[in-house]
Amino acid sequence: MVDTVASVFAGVALAAACGFRVFVPLLVLSIASILGAIPLADDFSWLATMPALIALATATIMEIAAYYVPWLDHALDVVATPAAILAGVVTTAAVVADLSPVLRWSLAIVGGGGVAGAVQGGTVLLRLKSGVMTAGVGNPIVSTGETASSTVTSVLAVVMPVIAFFLVLATIVLLVWIARRAIAPSPQDEPPGPS
């Protein structure tokens, strides 16, 4: 039971990390499974192979580098949103092996995909706000923060899944707050009241 709960926490945390960067959590999961630090479901054993590790390392480097190209970072958000949701489903399903297939895939799709999509949506809004407020100059700082967040969350999901899970909850609350502030009109945008 404890292992199942820990694997659910790890899966949700890895899914959230996919919302920051699509390939970083998959790379961390591949490394961790090769080292025997985290067991994978049988149908995801391919993640623990050297070809998968090489492919994921290459994709990770390319993804991180692309987010530092000024016009490409916004274009990547269009592709990264569905990719992050899919990666969230995959990472959750890969580590939650002790549940029945229906429960496992339901959790992966709703929990993993949902969390990845929520985090990705928050980062898209943050990048958009940064682009408007700094004319794109602040976007490399946002990109660095997203990569660091993805890496830290992924590693914590493997070594301390409970802490990673609660960190994800706090991150989602923060992203919702940021999104509400980004969408809400500022006081100067509101029409003046009657005098």
Q: What pLDDT, on the 0 to 100 scale, is given for residue 190?
A: 56
Please report, for the chain, how many H helices and E strands are present, in that order.
8, 0
Residues of the chain where predicted confidence (pLDDT) is lower than 70: 1-2, 182, 185-195
Give the pLDDT of residue 194: 61
Q: HSE-up of 5 (CA within 13 Å, CB side)?
A: 4
Closest CA to 78 of 41, 124, 44: 124
Nearest by Cα to 175 from 126, 115, 114, 116? 126
Per-residue pLDDT tens over the stretch 180-194: 776 776 666 555 556
Scan for tokens 């630090």, then name that residue: 37
CA distance 65 to 105: 32
